Amino acid sequence: MEASAEPEFRIAASACPLDCPDACSLEVRVEGDRVVSIGGSRINPLTEGYICSKVRRYPEHVHGDRRVRNPRIRSGRKGSGEFRRASWDEALDLVADKLKALAGRGRGERILPLSYGGSNGYLSQDTTDARLFARLGASRLARTVCAAPTSRAATGLYGKMAGVAFPDYRHARLIVLWGVNPQVSGIHLVPHVQAAQQAGARLVVVDPRRTRLAERADLHLPVRPGGDLPLALALIRWLFENGRANESFLAEHAAGAEELARRAGRWTFAETARASGLPAEDIERFARLYADSSPAVIRCGWGLERNRNGGSAAAAVLALPAVAGKFGVRGGGYTMSNSSVWDLDVAAAAVEPPAATREINMNRVGEALLTAEPPIEALFVYNANPLMTLPEQGKVRRGLSRDDLFTVVFDPVLTDTALYADVVLPATTFLERRELSRGYGAFALQDAPAVIPPVGESRPNHDVFADLCRRTGVARPGEPETGDAITEAILDSSKGSTRLREALARDGLALPPSGWTPIQFVDVFPRTSDRKVHLVPEALDREAPLGLYGFREDPGTSSRPLALISPATDRTISSTLGELVRGRIPLSIHPADAAARGIGDGDDVRVFNERGEVHCRARHDAGIRPGVVFLPKGLWSHSTENGLTSNALAPDELTDLGGGACFNDARVEVELRRKTAAGAGPV
């Protein structure tokens, strides 16, 4: 008999731990040791059986030609990407010797661990790695590249209260998408927005770009980047001045309402129009629509935090539902990040409390590599691709090029950053190891086993850092080291560990104690000391340079008039999967801005400021606000002509709260480099 044409396969359950709100439950098709396709399952109810186009391409990432299969040691100059193959023993002994030598001479602070969002899984970060670096006395990293300002605001005002669940958006009469683009960055919210619209709900989108959802909105407010703070304060002022503030809610549930009203007082519609670049009548229309609609829900994203006013802007947006009294009903309130609904404590697995060593803000890593005293002599990169994701790419690259810097890059793929490594270590992807994970939108905790064996000689993070603890002599007997032991320790840290274990074992998924569709101020309350909303929290007021809600003007100048923004696209997750992006990626520019510069659609341009320049093509885009240009985040060097990206133009100044990144404060000029016959093509 002839063998069947259909190869042997099996379907395995998994969960996506990548940096996204949705935390999809997955169905993975495996043939032999290979992942051949990935789709969504229904274990996480939010996933509803479908996933994004990026993760559908994940098999190409797992088995692709940029995959690192063995440890490598540098053989050429830094950045050349020339390596020789090494054994794990040789590579880890080399790394351990370097780390031990620094720590042994009391120079542990010259070691900098650098990790961020590669995997949001609990096992990926802050377990044995934290133990290793704390015991070596390494410098600490402030993980601020994303969500630091919004997180400060949400903590200060509400102690990070759980937000409105995506399925409850169907109950809203008004949905506000503020600095968020779920069509690419968390797709499972979209059908709920559409269902609400079909049932008659209004949609407002605040975004400098006319995103696909903005096209279908009742009101699109193409705010100038960084203008969200005046816009939110204008609504707050109008609510207070027109008797539309909910005084009884504020009296019962809020502190600081009078002070907030006072600070919002200067933001008349006219003054706000000047600062935000929006027509005064649209701002007023927004204010009336918000006051008149209930339930009204605000989905606050991260687009509004990535500028000098980001923290105060997020705070003002989050203050709105309190001032207008939008809580207490299904589909009313706000959604920010829901990651803190879990009481799991990863530190329980690390065992070691962090040492009180110096802290380096990751947005200033370029600067730190070049000027920190004492200098950084060993950099250990994992779960991150700093060359392509941090501000001041030029500084980061010069730092990584230092001959006296010893750099380790631990990643499943050979990233642009890895080209600068002395030692490259192959990491497993989440499909090759157990992972306990949760999203920051969906209310779902998932425990997923490995679905294939490690590709090549790759190993999981916790395993390699446990090994390094032993090789550097800082390991102690009995500490959790395996994926299973670490998972147990993390689950043990929850007050509801028995319930979580039962649910995970039974369903592969657990819901938080609040359930998966809590109503704000009915099922969940602020986790502040007095369970009230703090509208002008003192700590935030002290931290912000101009005080909370203080506005800093646009940093544009006559020679750098254009605001360069770099939001997410549906091609990558931050820089993850960027190796699969084919062709060059163009800069989006409004036709009027292009015409003023003699730039045709598809022409080669130079985007520049005092920090550097990016060479790419221009693409005319009438959907972008004039005065704003757009080159996405997460590109790899092969995606532009000269290998630099928007990060080369982004300042390393910090946001008003949380020490966050000011990517969208990049101010640039664009110049024609060469006329081309070809158009920019599809993007």
Residue 576's binding partner out of Mo ion, ligand MGD, none, with CB under 5 to 8 Å set by partner kind: ligand MGD
Min dist CB 611 to Mo ion, Å, is 22
Instruction: Please give the Cα distance from 377 to 407 (Å, whole number).
Output: 8
Residue 184 binds ligand MGD, judged by CB under 6 A? yes
Q: Which of residues 380-409 bind ligand MGD (CB under 6 A)?
A: 382-386, 389
Report residue 14 as tokens: 């998994």
Q: How far is the CB of 149 from Mo ion (least distance, A)?
A: 12
- Helices within 357-419 (DSSP H only): 365-371, 386-389, 393-401
Told to check if 427 binds ligand MGD by CB under 6 A, we report yes
- 304 binding ligand MGD? (CB under 6 A): yes
Among 108, 118, 333, 399, binds ligand MGD (CB under 6 A): 118
160 or 532: CB nearest ligand MGD: 160
* Pairing assessment for the beta strands 83-85 and 111-115 based on DSSP bridges: unpaired
For Mo ion, the closer of residues 35 and 148 by Cβ is 148
Q: Is residue 213 near ligand MGD by the rule CB under 6 A?
A: no
- Using the rule CB under 6 A, which residue among 109, 207, 422, 621 binds ligand MGD? 207
- Nearest approach, Cβ of residue 400 and Mo ion (Å): 22
Report how far residue 144's alpha carbon sits from residue 390's, in angstroms, rounded to the nearest whole number: 10
CB closest to ligand MGD, residue no: 303
DSSP conformation letters of 421-452: -SEEEEBPPGGGS-EEEE-SSS--EEEE--SS
The yes or no reply on residue 230 touching ligand MGD (CB under 6 A) is: no
Q: Pick between residue 329 and residue 666 the one whose CB is nearest to ligand MGD.
A: 666
Render the burial of 186-207: b for 16+ CB within 10 Å, e for the rest. bbbbbebbbebbeeebbbbbbb
Residue 361 contacts ligand MGD per CB under 6 A: no
Phi, psi (deg, nearest 5) at residue 192: -75, -35
- CB 19, min distance to Mo ion, A: 6
Contact between 567 and ligand MGD per CB under 6 A: yes
Q: Which is nearer to Mo ion, 146 or 157 (CB)?
A: 146
Position among 40, 45, 225, 230 found at the interface with ligand MGD (CB under 6 A): 225
Determine which residue in the list 663, 665, 668, 669 makes contact with ligand MGD, applying CB under 6 A: 663
- Residue 605 touches ligand MGD, criterion: CB under 6 A: no
Please give the Cα distance from 159 to 526 (Å, whole number): 6
Q: Which residue has the tokens 């020490």?
A: 659
Bridge partners of 654, per DSSP, are 661
CA 683, CA 681: separation in Å to the nearest integer?
7
Is position 18 an interface residue for Mo ion (rule: CB under 5 A)? Answer: no
Residue ranges in 575-594 that form contacts with ligand MGD under rule CB under 6 A: 575-576
Query: 494 or 572, CB closer to ligand MGD?
Result: 572
Position of tokens 């390596």? Answer: 83
Q: Indicate whether 19 belongs to the interface with ligand MGD (CB under 6 A).
A: yes
Stretch 43-82 residues interacting with ligand MGD (CB under 6 A)? 54
Of the pair 267, 440, the CB lying nearest Mo ion is at: 440
CA dist 143 and 361 (Å) reads 7
Among candidate residues 471, 377, 479, 509, the one with its CA nearest the CA of residue 107: 377
Percent helix, strand and coil across the chain, each to the nearest 5: 35, 20, 45
Q: Which does 490 bind (CB under 5 to 8 A by kind): ligand MGD, Mo ion, none?
A: none
Peptide bond into 632 cis (omega under 30): no
> Strand locations in 535-580, DSSP E?
562-565
Residue by residue, DSSP assigns 242-274 as TT-S-HHHHHHHEE-HHHHHHHHTT--HHHHHH
Total site size for Mo ion, rule CB under 5 A: 1
Q: What angle do CA 11, 14, 15 make, to 5 degrees?
A: 150
Provide, rounded to whole angstroms, the least separation between the CB of residue 540 and Mo ion: 21
Measured distance CA(332)–CA(125) in Å, rounded: 34
Binding residues among 133-172 for Mo ion as defined by CB under 5 A: 146
**Closer residue to ligand MGD in complex, CB, 157/624:** 624
Q: Does 189 bind ligand MGD (CB under 6 A)?
A: no
To the nearest whole angstrom, how small is the minimum distance from the Cβ of residue 61 to Mo ion?
Answer: 19
Q: Counting contacts by CB under 6 A, is residue 494 touching ligand MGD?
A: no
Interface residue with ligand MGD among 59, 226, 230, 508 (CB under 6 A) is 226
Strand 111-115, strand 378-382: pairing: parallel
Give the nearer residue to ligand MGD in terms of CB position, either 272 or 461. Answer: 461
The region of 76-84, 204-212, 325-333, 603-611 touching ligand MGD under the rule CB under 6 A is 204-212
Residue number with CB closer to ligand MGD (20 or 616): 20
Other residues' Cβ atoms within 10 Å of the Cβ of residue 76: 11
Pairing state between β 202-206 and 219-221: parallel
Q: How many residues bind ligand MGD (CB under 6 A)?
A: 63
Does 307 participate in binding ligand MGD (rule CB under 6 A)? yes
User: Least distance from C-beta 648 to ligand MGD, angstroms?
Assistant: 9
Q: How many CA atoms lie within 13 A of 215 on its CB side?
A: 6
Query: Cβ closer to Mo ion: 620 or 633?
Result: 633
Cβ at position 299, least distance to ligand MGD in Å: 9
146/409 with CB nearer Mo ion: 146
Residue 532 sits at φ, ψ, to 5 deg, of -110, 160
Supply φ then ψ for residue 458, to 5 degrees: -65, 150
Angle, helices 228-241 vs 257-264, to 10°: value is 110
Judged by beta carbon, residue 250 or residue 316, the one nearer ligand MGD is: 316
Pick between residue 303 and residue 480 the one whose CB is nearest to ligand MGD. Answer: 303
Is 573 strand, coil or helix?
A: strand
The residue number with the shortest CB distance to Mo ion is 146
Longest dimension (CA), the chain: 85
Q: What CA–CA distance (Å, rounded) separates 174 from 293?
A: 6
Residues 6+ apart with CB under 8 A from 243: none
* Phi, psi of 539, rounded to the nearest 5 degrees: -60, -40
Give the interface segment with ligand MGD, choosing from 80-88, 112-120, 195-203, 363-371 (CB under 6 A).
112-120
Which one of the spans 275-283, 319-327, 540-548, 572-580 is the region binding ligand MGD (CB under 6 A)?
Answer: 572-580
Q: Would you say 121 or 256 has its CB closer to ligand MGD?
A: 121
Q: Which is nearer to ligand MGD, 312 or 574 (CB)?
A: 574
CB of 502 to ligand MGD, least distance (A): 27
From CA 124, how far away is CA 280, in angstroms rounded? 47
Binding residues for ligand MGD, rule: CB under 6 A, are 19-20, 54, 116-119, 124, 145-146, 178-181, 184-186, 206-209, 211, 223, 225-226, 228, 301-304, 306-307, 382-386, 389, 410-413, 415, 427, 429, 461, 565-568, 570, 572-576, 633-634, 646-647, 650, 663-664
Binding residues for Mo ion, rule: CB under 5 A, are 146
